[in-house]
Amino acid sequence: MAQFESLISANKRNSVFLVILFALFICALGAALGWALWGDPRAAIPSIAIALVIALVTGLSGYYAGPKAVLALSKARPIAKHDDPELHNVVEELTLASGLPMPRLYLIDTPAMNAFATGRDPEHAHIAVTRGLRERLSRDQLQGVLAHELSHVKNYDIRFMTLMAVLVGTVVMLAHIGTRAMWFGGGRRRRSSGEGGGAVMLVVLVVAIVLAIVAPILARLIQMAVSRQREFLADASAAHMTRYPEGLASALEVLEGDAHEMPQANGANAHLFIHEPRMARSGRRKSHGRWWSSHPPIAERVQRLRSLGSIGA
Amino acid sequence: MGGFLVLVVLLVILGGGVVVLGLWLMLTYNGLVKLRNQVKNAWSQIDVQLKRRYDLIPNLIETVKGYASHERETLEQVVQARQRGIDASNVKEQQEAENMITGALRQLFALSEAYPDLKANQNFMQLQEELASTENKIGFARQYYNDTVQTFNTRQQQFPANMVAGMLGFEASDFFEIEEPEAREVPKVEF
């Protein structure tokens, strides 16, 4: 039991650490841009504020309206208990194990094997499974997958990933504002202030340009790192919930072998699924480098789960 | 004049300290109440699931009788085991009865193999699923209960809450333990 809890709390600590890193990163970017453009690092504060507000508005509207949009986009149909008693029972068993309220369940009519969870908190949670997944997994494997999804709900991952999206959006917006300002003669005040050390200012300008280009890329990388972190956390929480890591581990192995495409998956909602869905655009799985992937490699997830062994209550 | 000022400052600090202490006490107390209620709730959830099984069984008996009425012995075993569960007056008796019910149900479902009409009966299949799931639910409810007990016990034993937990009336709860070692070997139920 103890190893689960230390796994889970280590994961949560890492997430907090990454968010702080991000916030510092935003401040550093703003300071560099402000200094380069207006000779004063603090001049970027209004820009940061604007960028943050825009990103917040986009993020929050996604947070509240998101679930319905994602479900509609995936053509997910609600399933009542009498439509599929076994599925409902499997989830109900998990709600008893975790103390969570019962989420709403949906079915996506595709042979591809996948599942996702959405919703802003445990009281407003929705979990969808594809027909392919529902039909091809055993009861234990199905329960493992659903425990993983329910863990995303339990750990408030939707909320957390929305926060990440807001932070990334802020960085992108800030870099955008910064490059526009530089392009349209932002160096005015710098020259007229007549400060000495023109060479220093040139270096600062170069650094600012590099940052403005690199920052959005870096932000995205951090976002993906956080997403992978939360996936490991969801796996650990799922194993703790079922006390049977092998269920999820064997399910992941089956999922890895699934060659079907998810017709409605795209970059925006990819991170909600249990494993990276194949995109319809390319015939084979989009070649995500390790660092760009929203999910850790399945082999590593399976290995971590199996190293937990069979846990007694 | 200076002395008066010192007095005021001291009183403010003291007052602030009292407020902080009061706030901490309130938060600690409320936290422990919440955890203790979770434990109580989790315990009652176990009973809910046990009762659910008792309620499902009569329906099952009737359905089976419709197809296999001369399998009297097996049916009787289920009925008796159920009654023992309902009549159980302590946890030990409860657990004994439950193992009996599980065993008797297993025999009943094994028997259904010989009656293809029964096996294909919609009602029977639904009951089979419901009963299997209810067994799992009982197991998970107990698991959750133990988890809440652990959380509660840890909180009231850790510093600094342990200093006041006793005074505020919070005692450690008992874990739910399986009395018989054989019962531990039954994690997943498949009929």
Q: Among B135, B136, B190, which would you mutate to test the A interface (most chain A Cβ atoms within 10 Å of its Cβ)?
A: B136
Looking at the complex, does the CB of residue B176 fall below 8 Å from at least one CB of chain A? no
Q: What is the pLDDT of residue A12?
A: 76
Cα A232 to its chain centre, rounded Å, is 12
A197: left (phi over 0), alpha (psi -120 to 50) or beta: left
A31-87 confidence digits (pLDDT tens)? 777 777 777 777 777 877 877 888 788 777 777 777 777 788 788 899 999 999 999
Q: Chain B closest CA to A189's CA: distance in Å?
A: 49
Listed by number, the residues of chain B in 40-59 with a beta carbon closer than 8 Å to a beta carbon of chain A are 42, 45, 49
Chain A residues near any Cβ of chain B (below 8 Å):
1, 85-86, 89-90, 92-94, 96-99, 140, 243-244, 313
- Predicted TM-score (pTM) of the model is 0.83
CB contact under 8 A, A96 and B141: yes
Report ipTM (2 d.p.). 0.82
Each domain of chain B, given as residue ranges in start order, spans 25-185
Catalytic residues of A: 149
Percentage with pLDDT > 70 across chain B: 92
Percentage with pLDDT > 70 across chain A: 83
Q: DSSP code of B138?
A: H
pLDDT band at A267 (very low <50, low <70, confident <90, very high): very low
Choose between A147 and B186: higher pLDDT: A147
CB contact under 8 A, A89 and B144: no
Q: What is the pLDDT of residue A157?
A: 87
pLDDT band at B183 (very low <50, low <70, confident <90, very high): very low
| CATH architecture, domain defined by B25-185 | Up-down Bundle (1.20)
Q: Is the pLDDT of residue B115 over 90?
A: no
Burial class (CB in 10 A: 0-12, 13-18, 19+), B89: exposed
pLDDT band at A283 (very low <50, low <70, confident <90, very high): very low
Q: Is the pLDDT of residue A186 over 70?
A: no
Q: What is the pLDDT of residue A140?
A: 95
Each domain of chain A, given as residue ranges in start order, spans 2-307
Tokens 């996506």, residue located: A108
Q: DSSP code of A294?
A: S
- Nearest partner of A227 among A304, A306, A163, A285, judged by Cα: A163
Q: DSSP code of A103?
A: P
CA–CA gap between residue A247 and residue A308 (Å, rounded): 12
B76-111 confidence digits (pLDDT tens)? 888 999 999 888 888 788 888 888 898 888 888 888
CB contact under 8 A, A243 and B143: yes
Q: What is the pLDDT of residue A277?
A: 67
| Residue A1, SS3 per DSSP | coil
Listed by number, the residues of chain B in 94-133 with a beta carbon closer than 8 Å to a beta carbon of chain A are 126, 129-130, 133
